[in-house]
Amino acid sequence: MGDTLLTAIALMLIFEGALPLLAPRVWREAFTLLTAMKDGQLRYVGLLAFSAGVLLFLLSTVWKR
């Protein structure tokens, strides 16, 4: 389980770092838009990201069977 968690964290860092590395201007504009959102809008974006992650996790566990 520790190896899987470490792999998951590594992949998250790779994906999080890809946009600022490859397109810093686009990343800065996206970040500026996020900081300008109201709390409810930001929570909705978080809910969508969280739900997508849970769905992908569930699909990946079913796919392994």
Domain ranges of the chain: 2-64
**What pTM was computed for the model?**
0.70
User: Tens digits of per-residue pLDDT, 4-20?
Assistant: 888 888 999 999 999 99
Buried/exposed code over 54-63 (b: 16+ C-beta within 10 A; e: otherwise):
eeeeeeeeee
| Percentage of the chain exceeding pLDDT 70 | 97
Q: How confident is the model at residue 61 (pLDDT cuts 50, 70, 90)?
A: confident
First vs last C-alpha separation in the chain: 17
Beta strands, E only, 1-62: none
